[in-house]
Structure 1
Amino acid sequence: MGEQHRQEDSSLKGTLVAVMLLGAFLVLTWVGVFVLFIARS
């Protein structure tokens, strides 16, 4: 039972890291587009 709990925790940590990376990518993309928009106007 303890082993399964540990595996679940590491799986959740991996999911959290993946979501954080995806979120960071989206934020950086939006910031880049915003900077381009400001620079062109």
Structure 2
Amino acid sequence: MKKDHSSEPSLKGTLISVFAVGIVIILMWVSIFYLYIDRM
């Protein structure tokens, strides 16, 4: 169970990449939403 400590940096990197992907998806949705509102 002590092997968990060595995989901590990779876990942090995974968390950062997940946050980055989430932000990109949210930005895409917001831009599409504003485009849709603008066309109405």
- TM-score above 0.5: yes
* 5+ long unaligned stretches in structure 2: none
- Give the number of aligned pairs: 39
TM-score by length of 1: 0.84
Aligned-residue identity in percent: 41
- Could you tell me the TM-score, scaled by structure 2's length? 0.86
Q: Moved runs in structure 1, 4+ residues, more than 6 A?
A: none
| Aligned-CA RMSD value | 1.8
Partner of 1:32: 31
Where in structure 1 are there 5+ consecutive unaligned residues?
A: none
